Structure formats: structure tokens, C-alpha cells
Chain A
Amino acid sequence: MDPSLDLSKLSDADKADLQQQLANEQQKATIQQTVHSLNETCFKKCTSAKSFSSGTLDRTEEACAANCVDRWMDSQLLILQKLGSMRQ
């Protein structure tokens, strides 16, 4: 850590502001991690080694990827819903 970054000099308002911005960064990092694992899942489902003669996504793969994300989200929400109703 850069020693000239002395956080103790910051006012409370600045600290709160910084905390908010760091929380945003944290959220972005979490989203990126989810995208990494989701992309791996969808890559396995939507492409096959036979298609690796080209680096661009063909129309089927593109559509498959979009569906994959949406159905994954559906499943995620479904699980949350079911768990919620189980608790009652």
C-alpha cells in the first residue's frame, strides 16, 4: 500500500463516500465472479470441440448463451422461491 495514502486525514464525510465507492467495487467483483462461473457453465453447454475451427460465436451459440444465462437465472430464482416457501 502506498504510504502517502494516509486515510486518517480523511473527514468522516470523505470516509463514508469512500466506503460507498469501495462497496460498489466489491459488488462489481462479486458480479464478475458470478459471470466467470456462469460463462464456464454456458460455454460447456453451448459449444463443442468440433466448433473450435472459428473464434467467433455462430448464431446458434450466441442464442444458446443468452438462453443459458436466462434459464440459469430462472433456476436461481426458483430455488430461492422454493426455499422461501419451505421456511414457512
Chain B
Amino acid sequence: MSFLGGGSSSKSNEDIKTALLQQVQQEQAMNNARALIGKINENCFDACVPAPGASLSAKENACMSSCMQKYINMWNTVSRSYMHRMNEERKKMGGDVAGLSM
């Protein structure tokens, strides 16, 4: 690192902003994935494994995997509907969230 900055290892202001934002976005993506996985297990385990046996049966296995796909599909539908409705409500109030894409 050179004393007056400008060295190869020192970052420009733009780089610092981008790097920080990227880090925040990555952590957010992680948290989002973790939340989704937790919810899937909670809901699908509840629905597919009413009486846990010594191992997951083939039927339970198939149920879990369909349930998981269905949960994710519904997440996407719900997210789309919610964003759509939020935008409608905001339009009514005169603002918009054009800059917020998921």
C-alpha cells in the first residue's frame, strides 16, 4: 500500500462502496436462503412425516421433495403478488418503488 494512496492495493471510493454493498447483498442472500430452508423443513416435515419412523420412507421422501418444490413455487408467486400489490398501494399514495427489484 503506497503512502499517498493510489497504490495497487488501495481501493477507490467507488470500489469501497461496491465491495461493501456486495458484501451486504451476499449476507442478505444467505439469510434469505437460510430462512427459506428453515420454513420448508418446518412445513414439509410437519405435513409429510406425521409419525417419524426409523428412517424416511420412500413415500415420505417423495412427499418432502414435492412439498419443497411446491413451497418454493408458492414463494415466488406470493412474492410476485405482494410486490405487485405494494406497488399498487404506493401508486395510490403517490410514491413508487421502481428502484426496488428483488
Tell me the A residues contacting B by CB distance below 8 Å.
1-2, 4-7, 9-11, 14, 17-18, 21-22, 24-25, 27-29, 31-36, 38-40, 42-44, 46-49, 51-57, 61-62, 65-66, 68-70, 73, 77
Tell me the B residues contacting A by CB distance below 8 Å.
5, 9-11, 13, 16-17, 19-21, 23-25, 28, 31-32, 35-36, 39, 42-44, 47-48, 62-63, 65-71, 73-75, 77-79, 81-83, 85-86, 89, 99-100, 102
Task: Kindly name the residue among A5, A11, A61 whose own CB sees the greatest number of chain B CB atoms within 10 A.
Answer: A5
The 9 A-B residue pairs whose C-beta atoms are closest, nearest first, are A55-B69, A69-B81, A49-B47, A55-B66, A52-B66, A39-B78, A52-B67, A65-B77, A52-B63
Q: Which residues of B contact A31 (CB under 8 A)?
A: 82-83, 86, 100, 102
Report Cα–Cα, A18/B19, bound state, in Å. Answer: 11
Distance between A41 CB and nearest chain B CB, rounded to angstroms: 9
Q: Which residues of A contact B11 (CB under 8 A)?
A: 4-6
Among candidates B70, B75, B81, B89, residue contacting A56 with C-beta atoms closer than 8 Å:
B70
Q: Which B residue sits closest to A55, measured CB to CB?
A: B69
B contact patch SS: helix
Q: Contact: B19 with A66, CB < 8 Å? A: no
Q: Which residues of A contact B21 (CB under 8 A)?
A: 18, 21-22, 25
Q: Which residues of B contact A11 (CB under 8 A)?
A: 13
Given contacts A32-B32, A53-B63, A66-B81, 15 further A-B contacts (CB under 8 A): A4-B9, A7-B16, A17-B17, A21-B21, A27-B100, A31-B100, A31-B102, A35-B79, A39-B74, A42-B78, A43-B70, A53-B62, A55-B65, A65-B77, A73-B82
